[in-house]
Amino acid sequence: MKFLILIFFPFFTLNAQSINWSNKKLTYENFKKKPLQTKIPQGELDSRIGWQIAELDGELPELYVYNKFYENNSWISMQHEEILKNMQLQFDLSELYARKIRKEFDNLKKKKETKKEVYKAKFDSNQRNFQKRLSSIANTTINQPSFYKILNNEIQDSLNLYKEYEIKK
């Protein structure tokens, strides 16, 4: 009987202080990296979706998908409500895609899929979709409150649709 645990990290960081996504909102204090000095509000959010798989030969794998925010790699140039809201929007979007991946993994397990390559392909596909969506909204909402409100409502509604795939604390 072979037991294998694989951990897939989009980017690997040792000793980084991280926060799992929760309904609790990010605060300025969560952004611990020294910010770039800019005249306009800017920031960088280091949020990562990753997964772990534990396999036993011929059995369904045990899977764990996480969404983490890395405080020591994230910064905000100045205290500005719109930039903080934008960072939260990005973190919420990454949670939405983590939930989508959990659902896809659940569906694969229901189909009795045992091959890690199939799970990896689903993860990679969702990760690419997340990056495309993130690129399309990143920093576009800072001075557009009505656009932010539309996007936030859309993401919050989607998080509710995938509520059963939220990690319970």
DSSP 111: T
pLDDT for res 158: 97
pLDDT for res 110: 96
- Output b/e per residue, 41-75; b: 16+ Cβ within 10 A: bbbbbbbbbbbebebeeeeebebebbbbbbbebbb
Question: What predicted TM-score, i.e. pTM, was given to this entire model?
Answer: 0.86
* 146 vs 136: CA distance, rounded Å: 16
pLDDT for res 36: 79
pLDDT for res 3: 33
Is the per-residue pLDDT at 15 higher than 60? no
As a whole number, mean pLDDT of residues 87-101 equals 96
As a whole number, mean pLDDT of residues 17-40 equals 88
Strand, coil or helix: what is 77? coil
User: Hey, which bits of 9-135 come out as E strands?
Assistant: 18-20, 43-44, 47-56, 62-70, 75-76
- pLDDT category of residue 139 using cuts at 50, 70 and 90: low
As a whole number, mean pLDDT of residues 128-142 equals 83
* 49 vs 97: CA distance, rounded Å: 8
Is the per-residue pLDDT at 101 higher than 50? yes
As a whole number, mean pLDDT of residues 44-65 equals 89
Residue predicted with more confidence, 166 or 142: 166
pLDDT for res 39: 80
Given phi > 0 = left and psi -120 to 50 = alpha, else beta, which region is 45? beta
